[in-house]
Structures are given as structure tokens and as C-alpha cells.
């Protein structure tokens, strides 16, 4: 299982983080992502391969004033 915020997804084999986020509907153009407690730069998402047991946190940025 791969946990994203409060949701769990079955591990389906080797997949990079960016593809995983798109496939599971957790991608937003204005968000930050941490993988197992480490925040990642958006440019690096395609370099990280998600593994069974990973914990992903996403935080959407919102504008305010």
C-alpha cells in the first residue's frame, strides 16, 4: 500500500512519483509534496520511484489576502 494523505492505494509496481500523483488524482499545479517526510522539488518528482509502504503528503497552496 501507498498512503497519500488519508487515502491508501495498492502498490502496482514501479512508477515515478509524478505519474502516481496524476493517476490517483492527487496532482495539482499549486502544491508541495513530501515523500516519507522529505519535501521534494517539483522538478525531481519524476526521478523518485514510489515503493510499497511509502507515505506521501500533499499540501495545496491557496492565494489569500
pLDDT in tens, 17-60: 999 999 999 998 899 999 999 999 999 999 999 999 999 999 99
d(CA 64, CA 54): 32
pLDDT of residue 65: 64
pLDDT of residue 64: 76
39-to-10, 34, 35, 57 alpha-carbon distances in Å: 22, 4, 6, 9
pTM: 0.88
pLDDT of residue 1: 96
Amino acid at each position: 500500500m501507498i498512503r497519500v494523505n488519508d487515502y491508501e492505494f495498492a502498490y502496482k509496481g514501479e512508477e515515478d512519483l509524478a505519474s502516481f500523483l496524476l493517476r490517483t488524482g492527487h496532482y495539482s499545479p499549486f502544491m508541495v509534496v513530501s515523500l516519507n517526510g522529505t519535501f521534494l522539488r517539483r522538478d525531481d518528482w519524476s526521478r523518485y520511484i514510489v515503493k510499497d509502504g511509502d507515505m506521501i503528503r500533499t499540501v495545496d497552496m491557496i492565494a489569500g489576502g
